[in-house]
């Protein structure tokens, strides 16, 4: 039997596993279902995520794979709305798999869930086509919220990852144009880049969700984008925040 040596990565995964297994699950069939498949090489984590997602109202776990090679084979027959993927996998890495999957299925949304928070992997995953990047210490409730956010066009990131992404883009891209955003629009855009959704951004700014939606329409028009994720990407690319 293979002997595993404990590491900080293992400890982070074990913490996530312990937290997930203590969650109480709802049994009422959801009226609207987000189909999720996942790629995770550790059986305990894989089974716990399957239980968490499949046992939560509004979700259905339609696939659980140990490797990216297995996922690529099985996804030929049915593509879910969203794929939750680790990066450190046996054989093909999660990042390599994301690039292939986005080429084969451009509409497939992919959220990374990993212990890695270094600049290189974050940058490579986002460039490959990932819609978000979470660390495995993310609480289960926040993980489920992030899945909903991705399905709604968002780009969730763990706070540590969001800060690194902002720093990375500031280093590699010179400032372009300002797009004539107002100070209030710039503050709202910065909150979106940091991972806020409409409700939390409204609370942070002390305004209503309706007001946030109003200003977002103006931001989308000025940036010539059509979604929150596109606005975040353009803000980072052009150093608008």
pLDDT of residue 176: 54
Is residue 99 one of the residues assigned to a domain? Answer: yes
Asked whether residue 195 falls in the same domain as residue 162, the answer is no
Contact predicate 222/230, CB 8 Å: no
pLDDT of residue 18: 55
Asked whether residue 151 falls in the same domain as residue 73, the answer is yes
Asked whether residue 89 falls in the same domain as residue 192, the answer is no
pLDDT of residue 232: 87
pLDDT of residue 45: 95
pLDDT digits (tens, 9 = 90+) for 67-112: 999 999 999 999 999 999 999 999 999 999 999 999 999 999 999 9
Task: Give the CA angle between residues 166, 171, 172 to the nearest 5°.
Answer: 105
Q: What's 197's domain CATH number?
A: 1.10.10.10
**Percent of the chain topping pLDDT 90:** 51
Is residue 48 one of the residues assigned to a domain? Answer: yes
Residue 86 tokens, joined = 């680790």
Chain centroid to CA 116: how far?
14
pLDDT of residue 32: 83
Last residue of a domain, one of 144, 166, 188: 166
pLDDT of residue 8: 57
**What would the mean pLDDT of 137-141 be, rounded to a whole number?**
93
Which of 35, 43, 24, 56 lies closest to 144, judged by CA?
A: 56
pLDDT of residue 177: 62
Asked whether residue 49 falls in the same domain as residue 152, the answer is yes
Contact predicate 156/126, CB 8 Å: no
pLDDT of residue 92: 95
Q: Is the pLDDT of residue 130 over 90?
A: yes
Greater confidence (239 vs 51) lies with 51
**Percent of the chain topping pLDDT 70:** 83
Is residue 105 one of the residues assigned to a domain? Answer: yes
Give the number of domains in the chain.
2
- Structural domain boundaries enclosing 161: 8-166
Is residue 129 one of the residues assigned to a domain? Answer: yes
Is residue 1 one of the residues assigned to a domain? Answer: no
- Torsion angle in degrees (nearest 10) through CA of 32, 227, 84, 125: 170
pLDDT of residue 26: 40
Is residue 2 one of the residues assigned to a domain? Answer: no
pLDDT of residue 83: 97
Q: Is the pLDDT of residue 17 over 60?
A: no
pLDDT of residue 85: 97
Helix axes 43-54, 140-151, angle to 10 degrees: 70
**What would the mean pLDDT of 59-68 be, rounded to a whole number?**
96
Greater confidence (86 vs 20) lies with 86
pLDDT of residue 227: 82
Asked whether residue 218 falls in the same domain as residue 112, the answer is no
pLDDT of residue 178: 65
Contact predicate 144/137, CB 8 Å: no
**What would the mean pLDDT of 47-66 be, rounded to a whole number?**
95
Asked whether residue 154 falls in the same domain as residue 184, the answer is no
Q: What's 158's domain CATH number?
A: 3.40.50.2300
Asked whether residue 78 falls in the same domain as residue 187, the answer is no
Asked whether residue 156 falls in the same domain as residue 204, the answer is no
pLDDT digits (tens, 9 = 90+) for 142-181: 999 999 999 988 889 998 888 887 777 666 655 556 688 8
């Amino acid at each position: 039997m293979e002997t595993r040596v404990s590491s900080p990565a293992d400890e982070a995964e074990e913490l996530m596993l312990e937290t997930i297994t203590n969650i109480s699950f709802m049994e009422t069939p959801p009226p609207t279902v987000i189909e999720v498949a996942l790629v995770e090489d550790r059986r305990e984590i894989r089974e716990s995520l399957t239980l968490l997602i499949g046992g939560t109202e509004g979700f259905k776990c339609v696939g659980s794979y140990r490797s990216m090679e297995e996922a690529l084979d099985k996804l030929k027959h049915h593509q879910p709305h969203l794929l939750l993927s680790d990066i450190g996998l046996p054989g093909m890495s999660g990042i390599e798999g994301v690039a292939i999957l986005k080429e084969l299925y451009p509409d497939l949304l992919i959220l990374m869930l990993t212990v890695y928070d270094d600049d290189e992997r974050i940058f490579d995953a986002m460039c490959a086509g990932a819609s978000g990047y979470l660390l495995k210490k993310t609480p289960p409730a926040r993980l489920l919220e992030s899945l909903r956010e991705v399905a709604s066009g968002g780009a969730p990131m763990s706070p540590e990852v969001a800060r690194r992404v902002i720093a990375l883009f500031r280093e590699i891209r010179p400032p372009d144009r300002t797009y004539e955003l107002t100070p209030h629009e710039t503050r709202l855009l910065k909150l979106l880049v940091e991972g806020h959704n409409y409700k939390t951004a409204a609370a942070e700014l002390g305004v209503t969700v309706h007001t946030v939606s109003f200003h977002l329409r103006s931001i989308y028009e000025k940036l010539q984008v059509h979604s929150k994720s596109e606005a975040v990407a353009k803000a980072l690319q052009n150093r608008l925040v």
